Amino acid sequence: MKNRLKALRAERNWSQLDLAERLKVSRQTINAIENERYDPSLPLAFQIARAFELPIESIFDDGLN
């Protein structure tokens, strides 16, 4: 699934580790999501959206539109 995670992190000057700690996941999980090797669970996607204060749809794109 395509996502804007890396760009959003950069806008906030957050490292992968910073975001991982906020979400209580590993840095490797953040890396895998950013590189589209792993699709987050729905609860994790909601956590990510809350961390960035954005709707899920503005972070993730399933490519169906």
Token pair of 46 as six digits: 């909601």
Token pair of 26 as six digits: 């590993």
Residue type, position 45, single letter: A
Question: Distance of CA 29 to CAs 57, 64, 65, Å?
Answer: 20, 24, 26
State residue 65's pLDDT score. 61
Domains and CATH numbers, the chain: 2-52 (1.10.260.40)
Q: How many residues does the chain have?
A: 65
Token pair of 36 as six digits: 């589209």
pLDDT digits (tens, 9 = 90+) for 49-58: 999 999 999 9
- Model pTM score: 0.91
